[in-house]
Chains A and B, each alone.
Chain A
């Protein structure tokens, strides 16, 4: 990454890098959420606030769907917690990237709110290239741009989705699995790749066993197996390199 001499420069670079595919993605994903919220009778205010304050689409969807069904409060809480539990490992694994930044640690509790798959993947891939004292500005520029794109998406989905041609709506919805599938598979670290592949295989079957906690359960199985096999994967890779 280019030298980021000032925080403003880092902020603007973050904004610039988010503009384009990451922002478009949040926009289209949240378009889908906006239309769902409208269908389920959630008010526009809460739909927009949901994107800003929850900032985790699977949990937002569960909240809207269960609320629409008239489910009890405890079901909504557990459902949302299950759908958004990924933020715990994501936050935990992103924190070391900010560890050499000079800001007060307490701010991490605020910064953690801005983490999404997008920003997490961005910081994991590029975080080490950014100067320690510019990481926070870059992260905030990138994340807040994504969030604004998401809010615009909710608004347009809520207000316009029904009038949009079906083909365009479908293409916007389909963008989400393509984008996340590509960025998540694009890792050179073998255990992460194995965790990704196992997660893909387990995701659907585990959903039928327990819809609320299927994601967490399959993620824990896939991630832990990949972690335990990391030494073996490393050996496999070294052997291959040796034979070439």
Chain B
């Protein structure tokens, strides 16, 4: 019985996600490619993803919640500095951020 309900919850979660993708395709098929709604929705996507990033950084769950806030914010600032100063290279930004993160963790 417990396993049965596990699957019902799981399948519901699949639909609760796919319905958004389905709606996105359906609406896009009914519009001209240069309709302003596309730009608006791209703005919405940027806004939602940015909120998601801020939330995982500021209000993390699990293991990361044990790390103090400034231990997460300072490395993030360094990641941006590394990325934008050294030619927008992802790997440089990541190395900057992670290095500072490790240093703060070791020398706390």
Chain A interface residues (CB < 8 Å from chain B): 21, 32, 35-36, 42-43, 46, 49-50, 53-56, 58-61, 63, 65, 67, 73, 76-78, 80-81, 84-96, 99, 105, 108-109, 112-113, 115, 117, 120, 124, 166-167, 169-171, 173-187, 191-192, 195-204, 206-207, 214-216, 218-224, 226-227, 230
Option from B12, B46, B56, B91 in Cβ contact (under 8 Å) with A76: B12
Q: B43 an interface residue at 8 Å Cβ cutoff?
A: yes
Which single residue of chain A is at the shortest CB-CB distance from B36? A227
A206 to chain B, nearest CB (A): 7
Are the CB atoms of A195 and B44 closer together than 8 Å?
A: yes
Are the CB atoms of A199 and B48 closer together than 8 Å?
A: yes
A181 to chain B, nearest CB (A): 5
Chain A interface SS verdict (over half): helix
Option from B18, B42, B56, B61 in Cβ contact (under 8 Å) with A113: B18
Chain B interface SS verdict (over half): helix
Question: Which size class do B's interface residues fall under?
Answer: 35 or more
Question: Inside 8 A of A61's CB, which chain B residues have their CB?
Answer: 61
Are the CB atoms of A182 and B102 closer together than 8 Å?
A: no
Are the CB atoms of A196 and B8 closer together than 8 Å?
A: no
Q: B4 an interface residue at 8 Å Cβ cutoff?
A: no
CB contact list, B7-65 vs A, under 8 A: 7-10, 12-25, 27-29, 33-34, 37-64
Interchain CA distance A233-B19 in the complex, whole Å: 34
Which single residue of chain B is at the shortest CB-CB distance from A220? B44
Interchain CA distance A206-B50 in the complex, whole Å: 12
What 1/0 flags go to B67-108 for Cβ under 8 Å of A? 100001001100110010000101101100110011001000
B17 to chain A, nearest CB (A): 4
* 27 pairs of residues in contact across A and B, judged by CB atoms under 8 Å: A46-B6, A54-B13, A60-B13, A63-B13, A77-B12, A80-B13, A81-B16, A88-B20, A89-B41, A93-B45, A95-B29, A112-B21, A170-B67, A177-B53, A177-B57, A178-B97, A184-B46, A196-B50, A199-B53, A199-B54, A203-B50, A215-B48, A222-B47, A223-B45, A223-B48, A224-B40, A224-B43
